Chains A and B, each alone.
Chain A
């Protein structure tokens, strides 16, 4: 099985306080930011790796191709994915500020046309834009079935059909999709028994984890030698059109961070009126 996993780098949420908005408020500036893989993408990569391996023997049985769209140094994020176990990577050179979800979906379609994967497995959203759009639009452009918010995946005997449990506010919806298909994943895809591929023994459990697998030192060294193809939308024959424009960015109001201790309920009410101005 060949799986395409689109990944995006995002500002490290642990350093979110360093995010700045440009003077004119039209864009988020990326200078000095630490980048990491969008967590939802990391989890979708974990799901894709589980689908294409024997988890017990730790051997690869399929191929995972990573694709990212961004500036040249976004290759580092691809390298991280390669060190976790993906086979190869593609970097579509582009400027983050000049993209929207629709363009991303159009570029991904061009990649899918070229790579012809059996599945596209991607995070349901990124933690910076939070749009939750790209996967859905991609499925529409491809005319492929879409299984979004996947919390578990199991391949049927034919290897082409997947039983997908989707996590919804109203409960869990179980559907069958026949590949090729687009799947977007939620965080529950990390549960120890969330992915069944018919190769890994059915009773095998992955370790409980809050993120994708750790890259081993061997994996990190091997990743150095794995190929990352650099392409552009134009070289793929795609002419993505931007349909969304950002009008204004602003940072949330800073919190004062001051703690005030009070002696009595009366004083508390007084402070809530005079200082906090919430009453």
Chain B
């Protein structure tokens, strides 16, 4: 893929129009106020038929699985435009939302991508049928809870949250933090250790449970104050002897597949960051180009100064590279492939760093104005920082890339 197709551009202009009419006018309320993002996101899914389309496809697949029709994943020869377009259709709204409000993507991605995705991959048919459809349309808000006060990058090693068997039920305890959608989530995938006998690897198995808002013993905190991504509410979860039946154990299996499932989730989380970065970079560059042409200092437009030109040129290089990584993801999807974890890590590392550099340079280019909220680049700058932290920090990505290379030596 070397450029966006006419169809891609059409989707882009439709989504852009929606973002500019429905989100931009209330951006201050979403980014600096207390308006949660869900209502406008629901409207977006409904307007473009995204939620219904995903739900329809999910239910049809589920029906086939129930009938015992195993859909063989055929090794396909060659390039299939429809698969590539399906990927483009996922990524274009992410890019467009990130031009103004990257937090929206986080809120949406965690609910649809992580939470519904985890249940879809590991849940029993009954669990999938009950919990996935309302998450896909955002009728219910989802949260995926792994991080704890004492466990971040070492997610499993330091995990304290636990489940113990009590008759046919499980009793859950522990606390989770930095949970996207935590304050408002209706459906929570809670990841913890299962007390009892260690698995074959000598570790306690990691399992997941599906929890509803309002379950006795479950407390969802108010949104935490944070540096950026204000349109994506983040909170803490506290579980104090929460009793759940076995039907809430994801996959109804104690085998501890949650470790693998969580890792799969990391992979898909990482690929989204390229598209997010592209939206942020495109917008910064657009604002900077305009400002360079209109801001006059020392009697000429600042764009005529070479130090400004250097900033713009570097931003453009970043935009090209990140766009190419997005194109690669789309092209791979056309071939029925996706980036492996090491490549996804490399892409995530590069894109997150590029977005941050571009944002910082954008603030610098705008000078005092850049430091003011009115000119918007400061918001994108604060938002971009988290791309280097969540979904695996830069440092974790680096070690992932290095490990994968050295393994092959």
Contacts and interface: CB of A to CB of B under 8 A. Distances in A.
B21 A210 contact: yes
A217 B6 contact: no
Interface in B1-50: 6-7, 10-11, 13-14, 17-18, 21, 47-50
Given A79-B10, A80-B10, A257-B294, A214 B18 contact: yes
> Chain B interface secondary structure, helix, strand, loop or mixed?
helix
A2 to B, nearest CB: 25
A252 B294 CA distance: 19
B286 to A, nearest CB: 12
Interface stretch (A117-125, A218-226, A235-243): A218-226
B224 interface: no
B17 A216 contact: no
A220 B14 contact: yes
Contacts of B14: 214-215, 220
B129 interface: no
Contacts of B155: none
B10 to A, nearest CB: 6
B294 A221 contact: no
A217 B50 contact: yes
A217 B7 contact: no
Contacts of B307: none
A83 interface: yes
A217 B10 contact: no
A219 B48 CA distance: 9
Given A216-B48, A217-B50, A217-B53, A76 B17 contact: no
Contacts of A224: 7
Contacts of A211: 17
Contacts, number: 38
Nearest to A218: B49
Nearest to A211: B17
B85 interface: yes
Contact of A220 (B11, B47, B294): B11
A76 B49 contact: no
Contacts of A215: 10, 14
Contacts of A209: 21
A217 B294 contact: no
Contacts of A217: 11, 48-50, 53, 89
Contacts of B89: 217
A209 B17 CA distance: 11
A219 B7 CA distance: 11
B10 A216 contact: no
A216 B296 CA distance: 43
Given A217-B48, A217-B50, A221-B7, 16 more contacts: A36-B13, A76-B10, A209-B21, A210-B21, A214-B14, A214-B47, A216-B49, A217-B49, A218-B49, A218-B53, A219-B49, A220-B11, A220-B14, A221-B85, A224-B7, A257-B294
21 contacts: A76-B6, A76-B10, A79-B6, A79-B10, A210-B21, A211-B17, A214-B18, A214-B47, A214-B48, A215-B10, A216-B49, A217-B11, A217-B49, A217-B50, A217-B89, A219-B49, A220-B7, A220-B14, A224-B7, A257-B294, A258-B296
Interface of B: 6-7, 10-11, 13-14, 17-18, 21, 47-50, 53, 85, 89, 294, 296
